[in-house]
Amino acid sequence: MSNFKAHIPTGPLSEKWTKHKNEINLVNPANKRNIDVIVVGTGLAGGSAAATLAELGYNVKTFCYQDSPRRAHSIAAQGGINAAKNYQGDGDSTYRLFYDTIKGGDYRSREGNVYRLAEVSANIIDQCVAQGVPFAREYGGLLDNRSFGGVLVSRTFYAKGQTGQQLLLGAYSAMNRQINRGKIQPFNRHEMLDLVIVDGKARGIIARDLVTGKIERHSAHAVVVASGGYGNVFYLSTNAMGSNVTAAWKIHKRGAYFANPCFTQIHPTCIPVSGDHQSKLTLMSESLRNDGRIWVPKKKEDAEAIRQGKLKPTELSEDERDYYLERRYPSFGNLVPRDVASRAAKERCDAGFGVNKTGEAVYLDFASAIMRYGKEQAAIEKIDNPSDAKIKELGKKAVENKYGNLFQMYEQIVDENPYETPMKIYPAVHYTMGGVWVDYNLQTTIPGCYAAGEANFSDHGANRLGASALMQGLADGYFVLPYTIGDYLADDIRTGKISTETPEFEEAEKNVRQRLEKLANNNGTKSVDHFHKRLGKIMWNKVGMSRNAQGLKEAISEIKELREEFWKDVRVPGDMDEMNQELEKAGRVADFLELGELFAKDALHREESCGGHFREEYQTEEGEAKRDDENFMYVAAWEYKGEPSEAVLHKENLDYENIEVKTRSYK
């Protein structure tokens, strides 16, 4: 397709965005009133985009499957949001944030996009504070910062362990203001099920009202998809139960390229799986790694004894413990990037050192942090020769102040007291860096169709740094998309209202209806979850944290078979024209069954290891990821051709003009 151009502005890196903003077309305020924009998804990216577009004067319709925009899964982000404010005066700058992000992404993201992201990051904080987002503050009344995995400065703004919630509620409140003004029309409990293209341009969507089951047509001059990531293709992930790829996949099937689907982030600090009933995984903020030390027993016999419940972790002396991250990465230690930490945990567990019933858990230990804080506190309180018990008591209090809510959550789920015995953690699928391919304007390969936030592929390369997802979502929504979309819409000021009574809408609606009818009347024997769980198993075992050619090939054929079986044998109770959660799930799993195959195909084609993508064939002697910049320094954008196996690869080469490409090392 001719739209596969990145459109990165020329000129020096630091001037690209300003220059671009100066040069793109604008829409006169009076004309904006005549232009409709659909936003699918109301998380950080969608919510902020909808609010800003409405504020600029466009008529916005938002769609979300939840009962309220406030429930989008951005709400679950705990740790924080990065911004190059340099309030701490520790040498941070736009360039450094840009550099860290590119490096963290293992040199698989675009310089232009990432620099822009770093540039607008500071504005996000200003904006959110103006909106009343209650970030953590110091006693002087100014904003507090903390540091996060993979970087050497403190640039993360946070609101206890609920930063995502506070930012989302900020975007939601901005939306509410526009809803109150009549500029946003919210369609909650609605799911987008197809994109309508008229004369080559995105002109609307088909959506299902999830309460009544009614299939609706909605037209607009442009469609923004901000529907989040596709981590649920693994069945178990830290995503919400409803998080899905459907909106992104529907536009992919209508012509939007899907980029780097295999770039998935596995988060190192999640609560391990407890049994077959598990429906989702719970993440605990990465900030825990600031103070917790990760270890497994040095001796396999000890690990074995712990698994059988014969030995307690607290009974092992320091010499009997293997603090493997500190051992392997002395300079970053427990703060190595997520992919590195995750793989290292898997490596230890695969080697037989896992510490829970399933053998898939490592320890995150706060004992030394408790003692360290306790001593500090004793010194502050001027206690001479404090006893160990006193130090411990003070230390526990300090740790509670920092991580109290996380510890509570852990205890709630696992029923063990993390102040007394080390936490058990294991990596889980958390974020997908891949997504819909977009150009510098966040436009997909379909004119008039945009993708923002986690739904697009743009900024994180092969691995995302902690506290960068919130930054990207809000940057796209508040500061990028509302401007770049004007460049496209400037040509639409005379188009007038788009009719939904056209053959294109007719065709799309029919398409949606047939598919739903097929699912609802299939009369198979197995539930949707049955298939979803099986898909998840294939993905986790063969397309998970480390991958190899043989496993990937097997995965591709197994997923294909599973898909065929799904369509033959799935059972969806209930009817189409009512609230039917099983039917909703069925549609989403059907899409995951297609995406999963493309995912594996992408992983198979990328014969290198980079970021979250680790191919066992491509590693150094020490087991570190081995990139192949010669052959794979590109974005893999897949074009839909009917079956995932037939998808056609398009390559967008990545040029690094401002950064020296290095081997990523956290040693």
Partner 1 sequence: MKLTLKIWRQKNASAKGAFKNYNVEDVDGDMSFLEMLDVLNADLIDKGEEPVEFDHDCREGICGSCNLQINGRPHGPKRHITTCQLHMRSFNDGDTIVIEPFRATAFPVIKDLVVDRSAFDRIQQAGGYISVNTSGNTIDANSIPVEKENADEAFNSATCIGCGACVAACVNASAMLFTSAKVSQFALLPQGEVEASRRVMNMVEQMDKEGFGGCSNTGACYIECPKDISLENIARINREYLKASVES
Residue nearer to partner 1 on the CB measure, 87 or 234: 87
- Is residue 282 a contact residue for partner 1 (CB under 8 A)? yes
The rounded distance, in Å, linking the Cα atoms of 453 and 413 is: 30
Identify which range of 123-131, 443-451, 543-551, 599-607 contacts partner 1 by CB under 8 A: 123-131
Residues 450-489 within binding reach of partner 1 (CB under 8 A): 478-479, 482
Least separation in angstroms between CB 502 and partner 1:
32
Least separation in angstroms between CB 452 and partner 1:
14
Can you tell me which of 34, 511, 527, 548 binds partner 1, judged by CB under 8 A? 527
- Is residue 537 a contact residue for partner 1 (CB under 8 A)? no
Least separation in angstroms between CB 97 and partner 1:
16
Identify which range of 97-105, 406-414, 485-493, 635-643 contacts partner 1 by CB under 8 A: 406-414
Alpha helices in 26-92 (DSSP H): 29-32, 44-56
The rounded distance, in Å, linking the Cα atoms of 92 and 197 is: 45
Residues 568-587 within binding reach of partner 1 (CB under 8 A): 571, 573-574, 578-579, 581-582
Least separation in angstroms between CB 60 and partner 1:
12
Least separation in angstroms between CB 144 and partner 1:
9
Identify which range of 21-29, 117-125, 290-298, 487-495 contacts partner 1 by CB under 8 A: 117-125
Calculate ∠ Cα 294-299-305, nearest 5°: 90
Residues 192-251 within binding reach of partner 1 (CB under 8 A): 211, 238, 240-242
Closest residue by Cα to residue 547 from 596, 618, 595: 618
Residues 33-92 within binding reach of partner 1 (CB under 8 A): 48, 51-52, 55-56, 66-73, 75-76, 85, 87
Q: Are 102 and 111 in contact (CB under 8 A)?
A: yes
- Is residue 511 a contact residue for partner 1 (CB under 8 A)? no
What are the backbone dihedrals phi and psi of residue 209, each rounded to the nearest 5 degrees, phi first?
Answer: -75, 115
Question: Under DSSP, is residue 554 helix (H, G, I), strand (E, B) or coil?
Answer: helix
Q: For residue 523, count CB atoms less than 10 angstroms from its CB and return exposed for 0-12, middle for 13-18, buried for 19 or more.
A: exposed
Residue nearer to partner 1 on the CB measure, 283 or 355: 283
Residue nearer to partner 1 on the CB measure, 132 or 200: 132
258: left (phi over 0), alpha (psi -120 to 50) or beta: beta
Residues 139-158 within binding reach of partner 1 (CB under 8 A): 139-143
Can you tell me which of 134, 352, 404, 496 binds partner 1, judged by CB under 8 A? 134
Identify which range of 120-128, 145-153, 494-502, 627-635 contacts partner 1 by CB under 8 A: 120-128
Residue nearer to partner 1 on the CB measure, 278 or 514: 278
- Contacting residues for 218 by C-beta, under 8 A, at least 6 apart: 38, 61, 63, 187, 204, 205, 206, 207, 500
Residue nearer to partner 1 on the CB measure, 283 or 633: 283
- Is residue 277 a contact residue for partner 1 (CB under 8 A)? yes
Least separation in angstroms between CB 62 and partner 1:
12
Alpha helices in 475-548 (DSSP H): 481-489, 503-520, 528-542
- Number of residues lying near partner 1 (CB under 8 A): 84
Q: Are 591 and 246 in contact (CB under 8 A)?
A: yes
Burial 537-565 (b: 16+ CB within 10 A, else e): bbbbebbbbbbbeebbebbbebbbebbeb
Return the number of other C-beta atoms located less than 10 Å from residue 48's C-beta: 35
- Is residue 137 a contact residue for partner 1 (CB under 8 A)? yes
- In sequence order, the β-bridge partners of residue 297 are 321
Least separation in angstroms between CB 413 and partner 1:
7
Contact string 414-453 vs partner 1 (x = CB under 8 A): -x--------------------------------------
Least separation in angstroms between CB 163 and partner 1:
11
- Is residue 389 a contact residue for partner 1 (CB under 8 A)? no
Identify which range of 1-9, 93-101, 128-136, 287-295 contacts partner 1 by CB under 8 A: 128-136
Can you tell me which of 17, 98, 115, 172 binds partner 1, judged by CB under 8 A? 172
The rounded distance, in Å, linking the Cα atoms of 300 and 12 is: 55
Alpha-carbon distance values, 69 to 58, 75, 210, 666 (Å): 19, 10, 15, 39
The rounded distance, in Å, linking the Cα atoms of 65 and 42 is: 9
- Is residue 334 a contact residue for partner 1 (CB under 8 A)? no
Residue nearer to partner 1 on the CB measure, 336 or 583: 583
Residue nearer to partner 1 on the CB measure, 469 or 647: 469
Residue nearer to partner 1 on the CB measure, 2 or 279: 279
Identify which range of 168-176, 435-443, 557-565, 597-605 contacts partner 1 by CB under 8 A: 168-176
- Contacting residues for 335 by C-beta, under 8 A, at least 6 apart: 147, 149, 150, 289, 290
480: left (phi over 0), alpha (psi -120 to 50) or beta: alpha
Tokens read off for 236: 């178990």
- Is residue 24 a contact residue for partner 1 (CB under 8 A)? no
Alpha helices in 521-580 (DSSP H): 528-542, 549-569
Can you tell me which of 147, 165, 441, 609 binds partner 1, judged by CB under 8 A? 165
Return the number of other C-beta atoms located less than 10 Å from residue 212's C-beta: 12
- Is residue 174 a contact residue for partner 1 (CB under 8 A)? yes
